[in-house]
Amino acid sequence: STPDSKDTLIRILNSQEANEIALALESLPIEQRTEAWKNVAQDQRLDILVEMRSDPRESLLDTMPIAELDSLFNNIAASDLIELADTLPARLLDRAVRAMDTLQRSYFEDAQQYSEDVAGRWIDHDVLVLPNNAKVRDALRLLRRQLPDYVDCIFITNRAGHFSEAIRISRVFGSPDHVPLVDLAEEDFSVINAQEDAVAAATKVQRSGFSALPVVGENGKLLGRLDIGNACELTQEYYENQLMASAGMNEDEDLFSPIVKSTKNRAIWLGINLLTAFLASWFIGLFEATLQQVVALAVLMPVVASMGGIAGSQTLTLIIRGLALNQINAANRNALLKKELSVGALNGIVWAFVIAIVASIWFDSAMIGVVIALAILANILAAAAAGVCIPVILDKLKLDPALSGAVVLTTVTDIVGFVAFLGLGTLLLL
């Protein structure tokens, strides 16, 4: 191994933070990763596995003998097992669940009732709870025990276990012992429903200014909380997913996933894009006769397709962000379309003019200039319309616009570009 990889190994072993070690392990090729893993202290291993992406984590779990896994999962906390659940083979998951204590097992089973997309799956049970007749002195007694991270409120429940109020811990200190806690309750305190979208719930926590918000089930029963640490992780994973989705990949993709696995993951995306490329080719094929006579058209085709693709991706990206922030609705959709078409028209005219001049001079034909100018203008306008409509339609169909938006868009701009350019060429140049 090179001196640099030794540096990474030393960094791994010296680092204190599970997250740092997880990132460093992920950055190693698989054999080196396995080697480094052997040197990681037993008592840090579970924390590190929980922090890792699922694909690289799997690469490590695969190398561990069953006895080691058993000791690793002995008395595992529900929230840790939830993180690991999707990578563990069913057999191992079963063993881990059976080795849990009763309380954690019930938390785990509750969490598994919810899908990965909703808040209920990511509940933390470390809450400070008091009944609604509790007084300041009860709160002070509660606060004397070790507090969990990210706690700034005590939650108050009624007899049925339903969430009723939240009391800022800082308000408790200044108050006399006998004051009922409900007198110190926060106004307008947000509550998360367990069936709420996880990213929306995380955003709610981040905006609240509080360190955690209560999560309630149907009927308002207090189930636990979502703290700002988990909220940050959820939103960050969401953004990473969006970035990876734009290339047809998954957030879990390992930097060093095994070659066959990685090839398979990516092949599907290449196949889908191949179909759209063949479709574009088929449209070009309709104009074979024209291309044979005016070969300049073949030379300039990429310019028409590229300008449409780029203009469209700008509109698309703006709309995808707007959809993610809930900023696109029936009220502003038409106004947005109008604005994007106006921007497209202006840029279309400017660039059509520039491209026309270059093409006319290059091929010594004014008519080539006219043909490409009209095609560019048409394609940029089509790109603007497609950039607004495609993500909105995909979103209505519950498809992720970040994943499939760009494929559909470039299919549209390729076909419109080629047909407009070669069609006009056939009409005006032959």
Q: At its nearest, how many Å lie between a copy of itself and the CB of residue 123?
A: 18
Q: How far apart (Å, rounded) are the C-alpha atoms in residues 61 and 63?
A: 5
Q: At its nearest, how many Å lie between a copy of itself and the CB of residue 171?
A: 9
Q: Which is nearer to a copy of itself, 72 or 140 (CB)?
A: 140
Q: At its nearest, how many Å lie between a copy of itself and the CB of residue 335?
A: 4
* DSSP secondary structure code for residue 146 in this structure: P
Q: Which is nearer to a copy of itself, 42 or 146 (CB)?
A: 146
Q: How far apart (Å, rounded) are the C-alpha atoms in residues 346 and 113?
A: 53
Query: Dihedrals φ, ψ of 34, to 5°?
Result: -60, -40
Q: Which is nearer to a copy of itself, 93 or 169 (CB)?
A: 169
Q: At its nearest, how many Å lie between a copy of itself and the CB of residue 111?
A: 21
Q: At its nearest, how many Å lie between a copy of itself and the CB of residue 212?
A: 11
Q: Which is nearer to a copy of itself, 120 or 344 (CB)?
A: 344
Q: How many CB atoms lie within 10 A of CB 172?
A: 20
Q: Which is nearer to a copy of itself, 70 or 251 (CB)?
A: 251
Q: How far apart (Å, rounded) are the C-alpha atoms in residues 418 and 287?
A: 9
Q: How many CB atoms lie within 10 A of CB 167?
A: 25
Place of tokens 């640099």: 4
Query: Dihedrals φ, ψ of 41, to 5°?
Result: -60, 140
Q: At its nearest, how many Å lie between a copy of itself and the CB of residue 49?
A: 16
* Cα within 13 Å of Cα(366), Cβ side: 0
Q: Edge-to-edge strand order for the sheet containing 222-227? A: 192-193, 212-216, 222-227
Q: At its nearest, how many Å lie between a copy of itself and the CB of residue 113?
A: 28
Tokens of 47: 């924390």
Q: How far apart (Å, rounded) are the C-alpha atoms in residues 238 and 233?
A: 8
β-strands 192-193, 212-216 pairing: parallel
Q: Which is nearer to a copy of itself, 60 or 100 (CB)?
A: 60
Helix (H) or strand (E) holding 364: none
Q: Which is nearer to a copy of itself, 267 or 428 (CB)?
A: 267
Hey, is 60 helix, strand or coil?
Answer: helix
* Residue ranges in 53-175 assigned as alpha helix (H): 54-61, 66-73, 78-84, 90-98, 102-112, 136-143, 169-173
Please work out, in degrees rounded to the nearest 5, the angle formed at the alpha carbon of residue 259 by the alpha carbons of 257 and 261. 70
Q: How far apart (Å, rounded) are the C-alpha atoms in residues 27 and 256?
A: 8
Q: Which is nearer to a copy of itself, 306 or 360 (CB)?
A: 306
Place of tokens 């690289």: 56
Q: At its nearest, how many Å lie between a copy of itself and the CB of residue 90?
A: 29
Hey, is 41 helix, strand or coil?
Answer: coil
Q: How far apart (Å, rounded) are the C-alpha atoms in residues 277 and 218?
A: 49
Q: At its nearest, how many Å lie between a copy of itself and the CB of residue 52?
A: 12
Q: Which is nearer to a copy of itself, 217 or 405 (CB)?
A: 405
Q: How far apart (Å, rounded) are the C-alpha atoms in residues 405 and 387?
A: 8
Q: At its nearest, how many Å lie between a copy of itself and the CB of residue 31?
A: 10
Q: Which is nearer to a copy of itself, 158 or 314 (CB)?
A: 314
